[in-house]
Structure 1
Amino acid sequence: MLLRLRVSLPDRPGGLGQVAKALGALGADILQVTVLEREGGRAVDDFTVSWPGPVTSSEARERLSAMPGVRVEGVWPTKEVPGSALDYDLLMHVAAEPSRGFATLVDALPGLCGAEWSLALALADGAVRHASLAAPEKFDLPEPPPRAATMGAQEMQLMLLPVVAQGLHVVVARADGPVFHRAEVERAARIVDVVAKLATRT
């Protein structure tokens, strides 16, 4: 099964290699590593791994937490195939059919962000304008933030992405994984900005 693991580790030579070695000893095949941040003497990395057999997120977390100096911030299943270019595919689809830009964006964001669902709310009345599979039919966002932000709600981690020019607010929800990292929020916000510009060309 494919898992994504978010690991905080000491930012020193050989630190990443030690984690990779430990994962290999546990039978995990590392398919991709993404460095999210390096500051304060620590690094936060996302590992996408293929793990043999059925392994629960809690089992993977327990095995990795035994490494000295390593903190496991999250372990969750992922469908994102390493090496795929989902963001480029999304932008190509939007460029080809800009009138469906936000519907296409909302459908693609769960895969791009390692999330369960996403939707676009109208700022005027809070109605759901577009929704991915598994998204709720209604969603209450009492005070949409003026800029991209994260928050927790009902055991879900949310990423909130305003699109003021379109009168929309995009919500991305993750149930199993950790809080959205600022690097994830910045990436998603850039993608939303590009889609907004392409969608206005209709």
Structure 2
Amino acid sequence: MLLRVRVSLPDRPGGLGQVARALGALGADILQVTVLERETGRAVDDFTVSWPGTVTADEVRDRLSAVPGVRVEGAWPTKDIPGAAPDYDLLMHVASEPSRGIATLVDALPGLCGAEWSLALAGDVVRHASVTAPAVFALSEPPPLRAATRAADDLRLMLLPVATHGLHVVVARAEGPHFHRAELERAARIVAVVSKLSPVLPTPISEVGR
């Protein structure tokens, strides 16, 4: 199975190799490493690993936490394909059919962000929702004017305004850690580009509830 494992570790020579060796000793095949943060003497890295058989997030956390100085911030299943370029694929689809740009964006964001679902909200109305997203969804607080993260019940949310379209795109993660600011910044840039490519439509992007 494919997992994303987010690890905070000392930012010093050999630190990354120490985690890699620990993962290898546990039977994991490291497919990709993404550096999210390096500051105040620590680094936060996302490892995409192939793990033989079935392993729970708790098992991964317990095993890696035994490495001195390492904190496991999350481990969750992923559909990421290391080496692929989903950002470019999304933009190509939007450029070829701009009238469906926001809908295409909403459908693609869960895979791009290691999340479960996403949807486009106009007020409390769901304009478009990805597979497994709820047909009805309301924010407990007014949406922010800038891209932001928020927690709601058992969900970790990214809230991404699309001012030109009068929408907020919501991306939800039920498993794994809160969205890192690097993830938020990347998603916000993608939304900004798609909003530029997509015309503002006078009718709903799609029927409510798909």
Output the TM-score relative to the length of structure 1. Answer: 0.97
Which residue identity is paired with 1:149? A
Q: Deviations over 1:53-76 (max 9, x none)?
A: 110111111111111000000000
Q: Give the superposition deviation at 1:40.
A: 0.3
Give identity over the alignment, percent.
Answer: 77
The corresponding residue for 1:10 is: 10
CA distance in structure 2 between the aligned counterparts of 1:150 and 1:51, rounded to whole angstroms: 29
Q: Give the superposition deviation at 1:165.
A: 1.1
The structure 1 segments of at least 4 consecutive aligned residues displaced by more than 2 Å after TM superposition are none
The corresponding residue for 2:161 is: 162
CA distance in structure 2 between the aligned counterparts of 1:86 and 1:201, rounded to whole angstroms: 24
CA distance in structure 2 between the aligned counterparts of 1:138 and 1:201, rounded to whole angstroms: 23
Which residue identity is paired with 1:191? I
Q: Give the superposition deviation at 1:199.
A: 0.1
2:164 aligned counterpart, secondary structure: helix
The corresponding residue for 1:115 is: 115
The corresponding residue for 2:131 is: 133
Q: Give the superposition deviation at 1:154.
A: 1.1
Q: Deviations over 1:81-111 (max 9, x none)?
A: 1011111000000000000000000000000
CA distance in structure 1 between the aligned counterparts of 2:23 and 2:162, rounded to whole angstroms: 40
CA distance in structure 2 between the aligned counterparts of 1:129 and 1:121, rounded to whole angstroms: 6
The corresponding residue for 2:50 is: 50
Given that 2:156 and 2:173 are in contact with CA atoms closer than 8 Å, whether structure 1 keeps it comes out as: yes
Given that 1:105 and 1:192 are in contact with CA atoms closer than 8 Å, whether structure 2 keeps it comes out as: yes
State the aligned residue count. Answer: 200
Which residue identity is paired with 1:12? R
Q: Give the superposition deviation at 1:116.
A: 0.3
Question: Which structure 1 residue ranges, 5 or more long, are not aligned?
Answer: none
Given that 2:80 and 2:111 are in contact with CA atoms closer than 8 Å, whether structure 1 keeps it comes out as: yes
RMSD: 1.0
CA distance in structure 2 between the aligned counterparts of 1:160 and 1:201, rounded to whole angstroms: 20
Larger mean CA deviation between 89-98 and 135-144 belongs to 135-144
Q: Deviations over 1:112-166 (max 9, x none)?
A: 00000000001xx420001000100111113001100001111010000011111
Question: Which structure 2 residue ranges, 5 or more long, are not aligned?
Answer: 202-210
Output the TM-score relative to the length of structure 2. Answer: 0.93
- 1:171 lines up with 2:170 in the alignment: yes
